[in-house]
Amino acid sequence: MSPSVAIIGAGFGGLCMAIQLERAGIRSYTVFEKAGDLGGTWRDNSYPGAGCDIPSHLYSYSFEKYASWTRRYPEQPEILGYLHHCADKYNVRGKIRFRTEVRRAVFDGSKWQVSTAPAEEDGGERTEAYDVVVMGVGQLNRPRLPDIPGMPEFEGVSFHSARWNHDHDLTGRRVAVIGNGSSAAQFIPRIAERVEHLHVFQRTPNWVIPKPDATFGPLARLAFHFVPGLQRAYREWIYRYAEGTLYPALAQGWSVGLLKQRAQRHLRDQVPDPALRAKLTPDYPPGCKRVVIDSTFYPALTRPNVSLDTDKIVRITTKGVETTEGLREVDTIVYATGFRSTEFLVPMEVVGREGRSLEEQWKGGAEAYLGISVPGFPNLFMLYGPNTNLGHNSIVFMIECQVNHIMSCLPRLAADGPIEVRPEVMAAWSARLDAAMARMVWGGGCQSWYKTADGRVTNNWPGPTTLYRRLTASPPHPAYRPVSTA
Ligand code: NAP
What number is the average pLDDT over the span 247-272? 97
The radius of gyration of the chain from alpha carbons, rounded to an integer in Å, stands at 23
Contact 163, 180 (CB under 8 A): no
Contact 16, 24 (CB under 8 A): no
Residue minimizing CA distance to atom 18 of ligand 1: 146
Q: Which of 317, 335, 353 is the last residue of a domain?
A: 335
| 28 and 134 assigned to the same domain | yes
Q: Is 215 in the pocket of ligand 1 (CB under 6 A)?
A: no
Cβ contacts of 78 within 8 Å, gap of 6 or more: 56, 68, 69, 70
Q: Is 140 in the pocket of ligand 1 (CB under 6 A)?
A: yes
The total of structural domains in the chain comes to 2
Q: What is the pLDDT of residue 345?
A: 94
Q: Is 449 in the pocket of ligand 1 (CB under 6 A)?
A: yes
Within-domain flag for 254 = no
| 322 and 393 assigned to the same domain | no
pLDDT tens digits for range 58-111: 999 999 988 889 999 999 999 999 999 999 999 999 999 999 999 999 999 999
| 421 and 358 assigned to the same domain | yes
| 136 and 173 assigned to the same domain | no
Q: What is the pLDDT of residue 338?
A: 98
Mutate to test the pocket of ligand 1, among 147, 186, 188, 203 (most ligand atoms within 8 A of CB): 203
Closest alpha carbon to 413 in 379, 382, 381: 379
Within-domain flag for 355 = yes
Percent of the chain with pLDDT over 90: 95
What number is the average pLDDT over the span 454-483? 95
Q: Is 394 in the pocket of ligand 1 (CB under 6 A)?
A: no
Residue minimizing CA distance to atom 3 of ligand 1: 338
Cα 63 from Cα 266, distance rounded (Å):
36
Task: Tell me how far the alpha carbon of residue 216 lies from the centroid of ligand 1, in angstroms.
Answer: 30
Q: What is the pLDDT of residue 65?
A: 86
| 179 and 111 assigned to the same domain | no
Within-domain flag for 59 = yes
Contact 302, 136 (CB under 8 A): no
- Asked if the model's pLDDT at residue 439 lies above 90, the reply is yes
Within-domain flag for 251 = no
Within-domain flag for 158 = yes
Mean pLDDT for all residues in the chain? 96
| 128 and 157 assigned to the same domain | no
| 162 and 97 assigned to the same domain | no
- Asked if the model's pLDDT at residue 301 lies above 80, the reply is yes
What number is the average pLDDT over the span 340-357? 96
Alpha carbon distances (Å) from 399 to 340, 347, 357, 459, 465: 20, 22, 25, 14, 11
Range of the domain at 178: 151-206+289-335
Cα 235 from Cα 228, distance rounded (Å):
13
Q: Is 446 in the pocket of ligand 1 (CB under 6 A)?
A: no
Q: Which of 335, 351, 369 is the last residue of a domain?
A: 335
Q: List the 306-309 sheet strands across, edge first.
A: 157-160, 332-335, 174-178, 197-201, 306-309
- Asked if the model's pLDDT at residue 402 lies above 90, the reply is yes
The pairing of beta strand 132-135 with beta strand 174-178 = unpaired
Within-domain flag for 71 = yes
CATH number, domain of 157, equals 3.50.50.60
| 348 and 327 assigned to the same domain | no
| 471 and 326 assigned to the same domain | no
Q: Is 180 in the pocket of ligand 1 (CB under 6 A)?
A: yes
Cα 256 from Cα 273, distance rounded (Å):
26
State whether the Cα torsion 30-35-36-42 is positive or negative.
negative
Q: What is the pLDDT of residue 476?
A: 83
Q: Is 148 in the pocket of ligand 1 (CB under 6 A)?
A: yes
Q: Is 200 in the pocket of ligand 1 (CB under 6 A)?
A: no
What number is the average pLDDT over the span 258-271? 98
Within-domain flag for 93 = yes
Q: Is 393 in the pocket of ligand 1 (CB under 6 A)?
A: no
SS (H, E, C) the chain: CCCCEEEECCCHHHHHHHHHHHHCCCCCEEEECCCCCCCCHHHHCCCCCCECCCCCCCCCCCCCCCCCCCECCCEHHHHHHHHHHHHHHCCCHHHEECCEEEEEEEECCCCEEEEEEECCCCCCCEEEEECEEEECCCCCCCECCCCCCCHHHCCCEEEEHHHCCCCCCCCCCEEEEECCCHHHHHHHHHHHCCCCEEEEECCCCCCEECCCCCECCHHHHHHHHHCCCHHHHHHHHHHHHHHHHHHHHHCCCCCHHHHHHHHHHHHHHHCCCHHHHHHCCCCCCCCCCCCEECCCHHHHHCCCCEEEECCCEEEECCCEEEECCEEEECCEEEECCCECCCCCCCCCEEECHHHCEHHHHCCCCCCCECCCECCCCCCEEECCCCCCECCCCCHHHHHHHHHHHHHHHHHHHHHHCCEEECHHHHHHHHHHHHHHHCCCCCCCCCCCCCECCCCCECCECCCCHHHHHHHHHCCCHHHEEEHHHC
| 326 and 344 assigned to the same domain | no
| 415 and 369 assigned to the same domain | yes
pLDDT tens digits for range 366-382: 999 999 999 999 999 99
Q: What is the pLDDT of residue 444?
A: 77
Within-domain flag for 463 = yes
What number is the average pLDDT over the span 211-218? 96
- Asked if the model's pLDDT at residue 417 lies above 80, the reply is yes
Mutate to test the pocket of ligand 1, among 290, 442, 451 (most ligand atoms within 8 A of CB): 290
Task: Tell me how far the alpha carbon of residue 179 lies from the centroid of ligand 1, in angstroms.
Answer: 6
Task: Say if residue 280 is exposed, middle or buried (CB neighbours under 10 Å; 0-12, 13-18, 19+).
Answer: buried
Alpha carbon distances (Å) from 204 to 79, 158, 178, 310: 30, 22, 11, 8
Q: How confident is the model at residue 160 (pLDDT cuts 50, 70, 90)?
A: very high
| 396 and 380 assigned to the same domain | yes
pLDDT tens digits for range 4-58: 999 999 999 999 999 999 999 999 999 999 999 999 999 999 999 999 999 999 9
Mutate to test the pocket of ligand 1, among 45, 449, 450 (most ligand atoms within 8 A of CB): 449
